[in-house]
């Protein structure tokens, strides 16, 4: 069995952005005192970097102004600040005029588990999904991250790129055809579909592998783009497998599960179960511990899949 390869998504993001900035002097990086996460860019391309200090709202407004002047901008801060603290600036300065401002939300979901509820970001998707013109991308691995940085630089309107903190298993290769708005089917199956995003994708693949041993064939879809959602992939999954489980590192309200449910209920109602963060302020702990505490680890994904399959009958 081949050894699992893991790569850091933050370093992948920096590498892709660094390359873009070297190739195009109109690509700018605006950060709110988070330059240490992008050391090569800070050291080598200072003329294309603006560090506003701990002033996230200014970061977004400055980036929007640069974009209005024809520049391509990327911003970076911790996900809870990148979505909540700057919500009005994203809506009014970026979304309303549809500016090319691409926002890294670092350590989203429960990635900053040990820092407690003030640094958890379980509601970033819900906050941003209701804003017109704002796209939301949650890559599952380093390869997707690199490709999405390039895609976002060319995409119309603001893009939120939410990422975990640590290393994640590599699921794709450099030749994979990945684009904003098109889901990726990682395993085929006709008994149930597991739709996941971000770091929950590899947990869902592990669940599908275990389910296969029990005779349940699960389709696993990497829904890396929450908005615009690949509605065709959702409808096809509902029609062909008859049951859906969504898996996300986000509040069960307003995130991937809600977006998928909206499509399902309006087109092909089937049994469905959402696996995610309960509607609460979560405890302090390591990411893996919190996944277990809040019933989000692989065994709970397996149980959810079995439940919806049973409800089909």
Report pLDDT digits (tens) over 174-232.
Answer: 999 999 999 999 999 999 999 999 999 999 999 999 999 999 999 999 999 999 999 99
What is the assigned CATH class of domain 184-312? alpha beta
Same fold, 6-169 and 184-312: yes
6-169 has which fold? Rossmann fold (3.40.50)
Report the alpha-carbon distance of residue 125 to residue 278 in Å, rounded.
Answer: 15
Domain ranges of the chain: 6-169, 184-312
CB of 172 within 8 A of CB of 22? no
Closest-CA residue to 262 (of 229, 295, 287, 292): 229
Whole-model pTM above 0.85? yes
pLDDT at 1 over 80: no
pLDDT band of residue 167 (cuts 50, 70, 90) is confident
Residue 201, φ and ψ in degrees, nearest 5 = -65, -45
Closest-CA residue to 146 (of 4, 6, 18): 18
């Amino acid at each position: 069995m081949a050894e699992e390869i893991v790569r850091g998504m933050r370093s992948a993001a920096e590498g892709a952005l660094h390359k873009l900035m070297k190739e195009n002097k109109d690509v700018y990086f605006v950060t709110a005192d988070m330059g240490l996460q992008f050391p090569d860019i800070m050291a080598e391309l200072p003329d294309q970097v603006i560090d506003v200090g701990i002033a996230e709202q200014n970061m977004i407004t400055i980036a929007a102004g640069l974009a209005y002047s024809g520049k391509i901008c990327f911003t970076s801060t911790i996900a809870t600040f990148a979505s909540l603290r700057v919500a009005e600036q994203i809506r009014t300065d970026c979304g309303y005029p549809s500016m090319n401002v691409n926002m890294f939300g670092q350590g989203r979901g429960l990635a900053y588990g040990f820092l407690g509820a003030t640094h958890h970001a379980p509601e970033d998707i819900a906050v941003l999904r209701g804003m017109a013109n704002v796209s939301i991308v949650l890559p599952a691995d380093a390869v997707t991250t690199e490709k999405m940085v390039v895609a976002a630089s060319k995409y119309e309107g603001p893009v939120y790129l939410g990422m975990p903190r640590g290393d994640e298993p590599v699921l794709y290769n450099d030749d994979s055809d990945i684009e904003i708005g098109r889901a990726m089917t990682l395993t085929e199956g006709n008994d149930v579909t597991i739709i996941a995003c971000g770091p929950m994708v590899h947990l869902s693949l592990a669940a599908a592998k275990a389910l296969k041993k029990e005779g349940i064939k699960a389709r696993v879809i990497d829904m890396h783009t929450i908005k615009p959602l690949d509605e065709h992939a959702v409808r096809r999954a509902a029609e062909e497998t008859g049951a859906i489980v969504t898996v996300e590192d986000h509040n069960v309200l307003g995130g991937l599960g809600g977006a998928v449910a909206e499509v399902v209920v309006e087109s092909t109602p089937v049994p469905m179960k959402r696996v995610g963060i309960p509607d609460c302020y979560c405890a302090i702990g390591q990411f893996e511990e919190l996944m277990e505490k809040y019933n989000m680890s692989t065994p709970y994904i397996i149980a959810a899949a079995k439940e919806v399959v049973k409800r089909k009958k």
